[in-house]
Structures are given as structure tokens and as C-alpha cells.
Amino acid sequence: MEADSTQHRFSLFLVLFISLTAIFSSVTFYAMSAKPSQPFIGLGVSSPKGLQGYISGSNLSVPVGQTLNWTLAVTNRMNKAEFVMIIVRVGTNSSTLTPNATAPSTTFPEIGRTDQFVNDGETSRINFTWVIQSSYQTAGLTYLNISMNGQSEVSSAPVGTVSGRNFRLIFELWTFDTPSGSFQYGYPGLNSQVGVWLQVWFNAS
Amino acid sequence: MRTLRPRFLAIIVCLLVSSTFLTTPLHLAKAQSSELVTARQDLVQAFQSIQTAEQQGASNSDLLPLTAQLNIALQYEETADVYSRQGNDTLSVQYAVQSISISSQVSLKAQNLGSSAQATSLYRTTLSYILAVIVALLTALTILELGRIRIILRRRRVLKAKIDYGGR
């Protein structure tokens, strides 16, 4: 009779122990697992004197020879360190040549590029200094010679506008793809590459 | 014919000597560009080491100084590239070597951080699951022996209670 009771209690103990072990192990697994998050990289540009020209029609007026000190901000929330490159281009109001969510602009001339390692969760600030060194006119269109971060000047040709109005600086974000060993436009999203770019409209005066 | 042979040999020797001089700058240029190539490769390798360390559980705060150092190495590599384009090979090599040195250090530190983070992570995981099993064991025992525990507690309460003789 007593042996039966002991056996019964032991069985009950085993059932309880196994069930509770499963429950507590699940809780531990949940607590130790990484929380789900959507990876992204943010790109921004700012100026200590304020910045306008994010949309067409509210253009900045940039005199020839004036050095502008801007800051590019890259926020990395990819859950891993990233090697980013920002390609700066000069463009006009042609919408067909504009970069988009999947492809960069290949037609607008590149003024320069800058690259940086950005730790996960960090916002990296990159100095961006640029100046319109000179402008010239050909066939009724104004073209600019622009230099960036003290590098040699680059002509905006074939990009030119009437009276030097409606130019824009385009900033494209590229990330280093380790398997291919090269930079890819945007960053790898959950399903496909996500293109990141921004623009600042200006008139050369 | 006999007089021609020494002349012919002399010409060949001259050609060989001059070709050595011609090839010397090429070798230098190759060595310098290889420094730059190595600097770039080491940067990428160090970057991969940081990513691996992250996967192994190294914290962001530990990796932040390494990323900052890697950016300095990147600046050196870019300066080396600028000097190389300007034709100043001596300075180009100097900056490339500095970049390589920093990248190598970063790579090594990242690997160490990754290894220790992996060991810590394994220790924590094991400890957590052992704790979960112990808690399950104690809870099972408590549930099973709840009746006895109640009896023991009741006895203790009775034993501790002051005897009231009454009469006063």
C-alpha cells in the first residue's frame, strides 16, 4: 500500500518536474533570444546655418566661391557594423535620371565620395564641405565647377541649367557587400536591396 | 668571326644590365601599389572581424573604439591613395603601412573580443538553463510536498504560540 503511494508520488513528481522544466526552459529561451527588429540605415544632411531645398521650389542660393560646411549623418540600425559610402552627384530637375528605391543615378556626374565605418546603433557624422569654384555658360546653359572636401574640382557637365537655377546635390548611400567585395547601392533589406538617397536643391548665384 | 663573338657578348651583357635598370622602377611601383592593395584588404578583413565579433556576442560599447580606430586606418589609406595619385610614393607607402598596422591591431582585438564574448555567452546560456532546471525541480518538490509543508508550518506556529493559562 505504502509502496504504491510512493510510486504514485514519484510519478507525479516526474510529470511535474518535466512539465515545469519545459515551461522554465521556454521562458529562458524567450528571454535570451534577440528581439525582432527591422534593420535600416538612415541618411540625413544638415547645416549649422540651417538648410532648405529639400523640395524643389525652396532652393538654397549658393554664391560662387562660398564654402559651405554641411554634415552628413548616417544612422546604422542594421544589427551589425556597416562600411558605408556616400556618393555625391550634381543633378538637374530631370526626374528620369534621379536615383530611386532600387537603382542609383548613373547619368548625373559624380562630384566625389566619402566612406566610413559605422558601428551598430551609432549615428556617424561626416563632414561635407563643398564650394562652387566657378561657373561658365555654353549654349545658354550654366555649368558649374564644384569641389568637395578640398578635392580637385569637378565639372557639372553634361548637367547644366538655365541661369544656374534648379541644380541639386544628390547623396546616395552605398554599403559594402562582403561576399562580393564591392559596394552596393542602398542596404540589404529583408527581401531585397533598399535604395537610400536624398537631395538638396540650389541655385548658383 | 672570332672578333665578332666578344662584341656580341658585350652587347648582350649591356642589354641585360640596362634591362635591369629599366625594370627596377617597375618593381618599386609594384611594391608600392601592393602596399595600398594590402591596406585596403586589411581594412576589409578588420571590418569582417568586427562583424564576426558582433555575431559572437561582443557588445557595441566594446566594439565602438575598434570602429573608431578602423576609421582612422581608413583615413590613412585614403591619404596614401591621394599621395599615390600625386606620384609621391614614399609618403603613400608610409600612410599605407600605418593603415595596415592599425587594421591588423583592430582585427586582432576584434577576434579576441569575439572569442571572449562567445565563451561568456556559452557560460551564461548554460547557467541560465541549469537555473531553469533547478527552479523547476524546487517548484515540483514544493507542489508535491505542499501538504507536509503546511503541517510543519502549523506545528511550528503551535509550538511558538504562548501558552495562555487563563485564570488571571
> What are the pLDDT digits (tens) for A140-152?
899 999 999 888 8
For a pLDDT cut of 90, what percent of chain A falls above it? 53
Residues of B in contact with A85 (CB under 8 A): none
DSSP string, A53-72: -SSTTS-EEE-TT-EEEEEE
Query: Domains of chain B (ranges plus CATH)?
Result: 30-123 (1.20.140)
Is the same domain home to A46 and A125?
Answer: yes
**Structural domain harbouring A142:** 40-204
CB A68 within 8 A of CB A87: no
Instruction: For chain A, say whether B54 makes contact (Cβ under 8 Å).
Output: yes
Model confidence pTM above 0.95: no
CA angle A144, A186, A46 (to 5 degrees): 55
| pLDDT value of residue B20 | 47
Task: Give the residue carrying C-alpha cell 573608431.
Answer: B68
**CB atoms A81 and B136 under 8 Å:** no
Is the same domain home to A5 and A73?
Answer: no
Pairing between β-strand A196-204 and β-strand A60-62 as defined by DSSP bridges: parallel
Nearest residue in A to B129, CA atom: A25
State the complex-level ipTM.
0.82
| pLDDT value of residue B161 | 80
> What average pLDDT is seen over chain B?
84
| pLDDT, tens digit, 9 for 90 and up, residues B47-80 | 999 999 999 999 999 999 999 999 999 999 999 9
CA separation for the pair A25, A23 (Å, rounded): 6
Cell of A147: 569641389
Give the domain CATH number at A183. 2.60.40.10
Q: Which residue among A17, A31, A121 sits closest to B136, beta carbon to beta carbon? A: A17
**Type and span of the H or E element at A89:** strand A82-91
| pLDDT, tens digit, 9 for 90 and up, residues B121-164 | 999 999 999 999 999 999 999 998 888 889 999 988 888 887 77
Is the same domain home to A17 and A55?
Answer: no
Nearest residue in B to A83, CA atom: B47
Question: Of B24 and A183, which is predicted with more confidence?
Answer: A183
Is the same domain home to A64 and A22?
Answer: no
A129 residue type, one letter = T
